[in-house]
Chain A
Amino acid sequence: MASRDDSPAARHRRTASEESGVLGTALTTRHIEAFGRKVTTTASHLIGDPSSSIHYQHAMSELQKELRRPGIQQRVFSYAKASPTELVRSKLSTSEIQHRALTYLPDEILANIPEDENVYSLFQGFQATLPEEESERRKKQRRSNLKGQKLLEGADDEEPTTPLEKLKKERQKLNHKLEMMSVRKNMCSSEIREIDNKISNLNTMRKIVLDRLGDLEQDEVQMEQDLLEADNRLEDMLEELDDAATLNPTATPPTEIDIETEITEEETSFMSASIYEKLPSPKAKRHKPSRRKSMPIRHEHFEAGSSIKEFQAHNDMITALDFDAPFGTMVTSALDDTVRVWDLNLGRCIGLLEGHHASVRCLQVEDNIAATGSMDASIRLWDLSQAEYSTRLDSTKEEDAEDDGFAFEDSNETPQPPQTSSMQSCPLFSLEAHVAEVTALHFRGDTLVSGSADKTLRQWDLVKGRCVQTLDVLWAAAQASSTMNSGSNNDGQWRTTGRLPDASADFVGALQCFDAALACGTADGMVRLWDLRSGQVHRSLVGHTGPVTCLQFDDVHLVTGSLDRSIRIWDLRTGSIHDAYAYDNPITSMMFDSRRIVAAAGEPVAKIYDKTDGRHWDCGAGMNAEEEGRSPASVERVTVKDGYLTEGRKDGVVGIWTSAGEALSDIA
C-alpha cells in the first residue's frame, strides 16, 4: 500500500512519526482519505448515477432472490447447520448447555420410532381438554354482557342470516363436538390402559420384593439359629468358669413365689374392674418374651386368602392344633393318637410329643410351652424350646417313646445331657386329677384351667403343678337355679337344649380364663362366666340352642360358636348379645384375631367374617377345588393369629393361609 521511494525522505520521516504517535498504526491520514474517496466515488457512481443504478439494483435483487431461496441458502450454509447466534449461545451459556444435556436425545432412541397407532393425537387430546374451559369462559362473558352488546357482537360475528347456513353451521359445530367427544373417550380408555400397565408393572415389582423378603426371612432364621448356638456356648463357658471359681455347686431352685391370691371378695358384675382393666387389647402389641427376636411379616403382604402351605400332617382327623406365632412352631394332634410339632417356617415336622395313652383332644401353645389335654384324662405340659432341633438338619426323625411318670420335673432342674431324641427333654409334667377325658383347656401365665367329660372344671397352678380348685358345673347350675328362682329368670339352670343332646358333643366344649375370670361353654348351649376367686358363676349367657364348641374373648367381646350352626358375639361388659350370624353346618371350631372371626363349619373352607367391614368370605382349599377336580375334606379345626390362619381337616391335612393381606397394617 505504502510506497517508499516516491516521497521525500524528510517529509516522510515527519509524517511517519506523527502518524505513529497518534494512531500507533501504519496507515497515514492521506491514505485513509484516498481510500475513502475511492469508495465514495465508486458507490456514488453505482447508486447515485441514474443510468448505472439499474444495473446495481438488478444485480442486488437478483442476489437477494437467490439468497431467499432455501436451496441456495442451504447450499451456502450447509457447512454449519446451526446459525451463528445459536452456536454462540449453545457454547457459552451454562444454562443453555444444561438444558441441552437434559433434552438431548441420543440417536439410538431416535432410530427407534414405531408406527403411529394412536387413535387420537396428543394435540387433539390437548384441544379436547382445553377448549371446554375456554368456551365456558366465553359463555360466562357473554352472559355478563349487556343485551345490546350481545346484539352488536352477533353482528360482528357476521352470523349467517339464512336458516340454511345457520343449520349448516350448527351441524358443523355438532360434528366438531362429536369428534371431540370421541377423542375424549379415547383419551379415557387409553389412560385406563396406561394405568393397567402400570399396575401390572407394580405387581411384578411387588412380587420381586416379596421374594426378596422371603429370602431375608430365611436368612434371618438361619442367623438366629447361629446366635442361639453362640449364646448356648457362651453360657456353658460362663458356667464352667463360675464352677471353677467358686467351687460351690450351684443349685438353682426355681423361686416359687406364692402367687396364690385367694381373694374372696364378692363381685356382682361378671368381672371385677381390676381384672377387666388388665385384659389386653388385641390391638396393643404384645411384648412377650419370644424365643425369636424377629417377627416374620411376610404373610401380611400376601394377598388375603392365599395359600402359604398345605401338607399331610396326620393320617386321621385333626382334633386340635395351635401355634405360637406366624411362621413359628405349631403343634397338631389327631385321632391317630400322635401329637406332632412343626416348624412353620420350613414346614417340617420337628418331632412327636409322646406320653399320652390316648388321643389328644385339646391343646394350646404359648411361647415355648405347649399344653395338651387327652382322652386319657391327663394334661401334659411340654417345653418346646428343649427340642433338639436344628433348622439346618433334616430332622424329621420320629423318636422312641418317652416314659411317663415324668411328672413334676422342671426343666430348670434337669441338666441338659446330649439327647438322641429330638423331643426327649420336652415333657415338663403331667396333671392328673380328672376322671374322664379332657375336652378343653386354656392356660395363661401360671394358671391353667381344664374342662372334662367328668362335668367338672379344674384350675391348676403351673408352678406347683397341682390342682388348686375344682368347679362342678352341675352343682353350680343347681345352685344358680335355687338362689335365683325368682320370676322367669332361669339363668344358670342346667337346660336341656332344644334338640336332643348330641351324644358326641363334649360336656365342656370350650373355656378361656383371664386372671380370675373364666368363661366356659357347655353342651347345654350355655356360656357361664365364673369368678375363680369365689368359685361362683356370675353370669350365664343364654342364647345357643346347641352345645357350645368354641369360645374366645378379648377386652370387648366374647365370641362363641355352637353346634346350632350359629356364632354369637356378646358384649363382655353388659352380657347382652352384640351380633350373631349362622352358617349351614354346625360350628366345630372358631377363633378370632384383631379383625376377623374365623370358623370351621363342616365345609372344606374356613369361614371368615371381617368385623370391620362386615364382609363374609371363604378361605381354603375348597375355594377352587371344583375346577381342579379335587375334593378336600371339611375343615375341622381353625387357629388364627395376626392374620396367619391354620386349619386342620378331617383327612389329616393341615393348610396354612393368610387371612390378613395388607389390611393388617390398616389397623395399626
Chain B
Amino acid sequence: MAYRLPDAADADSPLKPDELAVLRAQYEKEGPYVGVQTKFNYAWGLIKSSSRSEQQEGVRLLSEIFRNEPNRRRECLYYLALGNYKLGNYQEARRYNDLLLDHEPANLQAASLRGLIDDKVAKDGLMGVAILSGVAIAAAGVGAMILRGARRR
C-alpha cells in the first residue's frame, strides 16, 4: 500500500466547487442510509475547503463517522485532528493526534501533524504572551498612575 493517510498539506488544497458539488450530491442522494465512504468523501472535501463553516461541517460529519463506525475510528482520529487543526482548535487537534500516536507511534503523518500543531500553538502562544504582556504593562502603568494620583491627594 502506497499511503493510507494524506499529508497535512493535502488538507490545504481545496477542491473545485463542482467536485465538491459531486460529493455533496452523492451524499445527499444516499439520504439517511448514507455509506461511510460517501460520508467521508464529502467530509474530507469539506475539510479541504477554505471556508470555515464548511470545515466545521466536515469535522461534524467526521465525528459522526467516528461515533458510528468503530472500525474506522483510528483513521478518523487523524482526520479529526487535521480538521481541528485547520479550524484552529489546537487543543482538540492535539487530543486526537496524541491518541492516534499512542496507538500508532510510527505513523509519519500523525507525527508531522504533531509538529505542525506544536508550531502553531507556539506561534500563537508567543503572540498571546506578547499581547498579554503588553496589556499587563499598560494595566500596570495605568494602575500605578491611579495609585500615585490617589496618594497625591
Interface residues, chain A, CB within 8 Å of chain B? 1-2, 16, 20, 23-27, 67-68, 70, 73-74, 76-77, 80-86, 89-90, 99-100, 102-105, 109-110, 112-118, 121-126, 129-130, 133-134, 179, 187, 190-191, 194, 198
Contacts and interface: CB of A to CB of B under 8 A. Distances in A.
Given A27-B148, A74-B118, A102-B63, A118 B124 contact: no
6 contacts: A1-B148, A83-B123, A90-B91, A102-B63, A110-B96, A113-B99
Contacts of A114: 70-71, 73-74
A133 B41 CA distance: 14
B124 A85 contact: yes
Interface in B105-153: 115, 118-128, 131-132, 141-142, 144-152
Given A70-B122, A81-B121, A122-B79, 20 more contacts: A25-B146, A26-B148, A26-B150, A70-B119, A76-B125, A80-B125, A85-B127, A90-B89, A99-B56, A102-B60, A103-B59, A103-B60, A113-B103, A121-B75, A122-B76, A125-B41, A130-B19, A190-B37, A194-B35, A194-B36
Contacts of B150: 26
A667 to B, nearest CB: 27
A80 B90 CA distance: 11
Nearest to A73: B122
Interface of B: 1-6, 19, 22, 33, 35-37, 40-41, 44, 56, 59-60, 62-63, 66-67, 70-77, 79-80, 88-92, 94-96, 99, 103, 115, 118-128, 131-132, 141-142, 144-152
Contacts of B75: 116, 118, 121-123
Contacts of B144: 1, 26-27
B37 A122 contact: yes
Instruction: Name the prevailing secondary structure of the A interface residues.
Output: helix
B63 A103 contact: yes
A190 B142 CA distance: 67
Contacts of A1: 144, 148
Contacts of A80: 125
Contacts of B73: 109, 112-114
A509 B96 CA distance: 80
A121 B44 CA distance: 13
A109 B150 CA distance: 58
B74 A116 contact: yes
Contacts of B132: 84
B152 A83 contact: no
Contacts of A81: 90-91, 94, 121
A430 B92 CA distance: 88
A104 B63 CA distance: 8
Contacts of A110: 95-96, 99
Given A77-B125, A121-B75, A194-B35, A126 B63 contact: no
Contact of B71 (A85, A117, A123): A117
A26 B143 CA distance: 10
A109, A112, A113, A179 interface centre (most CB from chain B within 10 Å): A113
Contacts of A190: 37
B121 A82 contact: yes
A332 to B, nearest CB: 46
B128 A84 contact: yes
A85 B127 CA distance: 9
Contacts of A68: 122
Contact of B2 (A82, A112, A130, A179): A179
Nearest to A89: B88
Nearest to B100: A113
A123 B5 CA distance: 6
Given A83-B90, A85-B124, A113-B74, A191 B149 contact: no
B120 A105 contact: no
A121 B65 CA distance: 14
A179 B60 CA distance: 30
Contact of B149 (A25, A122, A125, A126): A25
A86 B91 contact: yes
A107 B103 CA distance: 15
A301 B110 CA distance: 52
